Each structure stands twice: as structure tokens, then as C-alpha cells.
Structure 1
Amino acid sequence: MDIDSAVRTRRTLHAVAEAVLAGPQYRASGTIRLRTYPGGFATTAEPFLQVVGDELMAPGRRLPLRDTTWSALADAVGVTAGPPDGLYSDGSGVGPDDPLDADPQAAQWIAHCFGIADTALRRVGGDREPVLWPEHFDIGVTVDEVNYGVSAGDGYQPEPYAYVGPHTPRTGPFWNAPFGAARPGRDLGGADAITRFFEEGRRLAADG
């Protein structure tokens, strides 16, 4: 899987997450919170939609996330397209008529990263439910003023990465990112390794 395919796929999934899942869910149910789902991610309230790999799933429908747009996908599943209104200024940057192009292998990799992140976050977060946020397309929890999560990629790092972000900045070799600490997903391995990264971050954040 090359980096260009990974970035195109991430932008496509991010666009669908915010404009086809989170936006319609916010207008119908008042929440933008998404969740992991086997092989991808899903809404947490009506309308109930899922993305599995490189397909949008709706009752009786399986729609590929390529050679289409998020506005066309929304029309096909009967929801009003568009990101959540007035809640944030960032997002995927993908317009309603911009073409979508999800690579199956890259989509599976991102889904895998979110899945193992969900496991690790439940360990570090206790009873806190991990949330997949549509703004930055990352899944995370906050514990004692420290953010823990896994991003699908962004301007800082094009591919998935795990992060620890204390609300109060820390210094030292562990803290290698502008927002705290980050480790590429390819270097971390599975849920156990991500859990160890989170736990190390929690210990160092508590030490100040």
C-alpha cells in the first residue's frame, strides 16, 4: 500500500464520516459521536449507517466509496448530506462534488487501526466510551486532562498514528509532537503495544 493510496482513502473515509454519517446523525439525533464497527465505523444514533472497508452500508444497500461523491451517497441512502452545521471549522476538506476514491487495502488498514485503538482505549479509559470524532477523524478518550487516541492521519502524519496529548504541555524525549507524543501505527503493533504507549504517556504526564 503506497502513501498516496492511504491519503486518498483516508480523505474519502473522513468525508463520508462527517458528511454522510455524523452530519445527518447530528440533525436527526443531536450528536456527532461515531463509533468503531467490525471492519470500519458507524453512527451511534439514527440514521443507522456503517462504513465497512471501502463500502457504505445501509439497510438493503452496499455502496462503494469510489467513482462517486458524498452528496450522491447521501442521496442514495436517503439522508441530508453535509457536515454538522456550525460545530467546527476543520474537517476533511472534501466538497460535495469532489470525487471519492477508497482503496480496499488502505480502508482495511484504517479500520484495523481504529479497531485495535478501541481495545486499547477501553483499557486506559476505564468506563469511558471511545468516540470516533468526525472533525479530525480520530478515536479517543480523555482521562485526567490527557487525551489518548489514534488518528487515521492528518497534516502532521499522513498515515494512522497513536497519540497522547496532555492539556498542559510536557517536555522530555517522550513528547515528540506539537500536541504531546505520537507514534506511527506501523511501528506500534497491536492493541497491547498501543496500550503500553498510552500507559507510558499517562505515567509521564502524571510526573509532570
Structure 2
Amino acid sequence: MKNLALFDLDHTLLPIDSDYEWGQFLVRIGAVDPVEFKRSNDAFFAQYQAGTLDPVEYLEFALGTLARFPRPQLDAMHAQFMREVIEPALLPQARKLLQDHLDAGDLVCIITATNRFVTAPIAKALGVEHLIAAVPEEDEHGNLTGKLLGSPTSGPGKVTHTHAWLEQIGTPLDGFGRSHFYSDSHNDIPLLSVVTHPVATNPNAALSAHATSLGWPLLQLFND
């Protein structure tokens, strides 16, 4: 029977937060107002770390920023972002963990609260075909409208989106011999709680305490 391996992205497979770093990148290249954008970006990031982030409010902010630029310019900026920020953060230990599951024949998927525009090229660079991420609306020319399609892929939303994806491919969660989910954040406890093999990966303090109390394994992917 086939196994399932789900992975969070930021601070799990990456030692950075791609969403936050994308914002910092926009500031650095002068694409957004440095003072106002950094203030908002930092505030949302602090809310995320504290577990108080309103995902819809944040996604409207992030996608609204993307909508300011025509798609060719966005794609060029993202290619630069990949070269300068993401590629140096694609570390061998994360690649090996993914490859171990792929070599075992597991169905591998990255599931992240970060939007698909930012994360799809990252998943591709990691060699992962399947990605569940917040979906930005596009117009007929491929430009982003600033709106979110569907619901956020964060917190309990990760459970909902995982079940919906598995229904599409024809195998429910309990149809796998083993289901793994690797995450660093207490925000992902809902999905960690429904798989057969939750792994607290580079866990923050809240997740570390929760995982320890339940006997879940802790994996320090970047600090060994």
C-alpha cells in the first residue's frame, strides 16, 4: 500500500519564511514603499509567529501587492528572488528527506499557507510535483487581480484542502498505509493530528511542547 508524505514549506523544508522573504526582497529592490510595506510585513509575520494571524487579511495584503505589477514583471522579479534568496536556502538535508520519500515510492506533496505564485517555483526546484497553496485569482492575461480563489490553506484549512486534494486523486487519507506530515509550527497541529506519522520538524516552542507531550518525533533538520 502506498504511503503519503506531506510537508510544510517555510521553516520546515526551507530554513527561512519564503513569504516574508519575498516581501523583504520587494523592499530591497525598490518595488514597494520601504517604510510602509516593511511595517505591514513585519506586523503580519509577528502575528503568524504568535498564532494570531488572520489568513484572509494577510492574503489580501500579499496578493494586493502582487496585483500592482504586470505578470511579465512579476515573473522576472520572482526569477531574481529564486536566484538570490531561495536557491541558497535549498539545503541538502531537506532535499535528502524529500528524496528518501520519493525513492520509497511515497506520494509527496508540499502544503503551505503561502500563495502559489511565491511557492510553485520553489516546489519545482525541490522536485515536488504536488503543491497545495493559496491560489491567487488571475485575469484573462495571467495578471493577478489581488483576490484569493477559495479558502486559505492555513491552520484547519490545511486539513480541508488535503482532504479535497486526496478526493480529487481518488485516495482518501485512510487509504494510505502511512501518512506523514512534517511541520515546524503549532499552527499546523490540526493536520499533524490527523496523519498517522506527525513529525515536528525544526519545531517552534509551542509545537515542541505539544509534540513532546504526545510522544511525536522531533526532527531538527537544520540544526544537527
Whether TM exceeds 0.5 here: the answer is no
Report which structure shows greater RCO (CA 8 Å, sep ≥6).
2
Which has the larger strand fraction?
A: 1
Which has the larger helix fraction?
A: 2
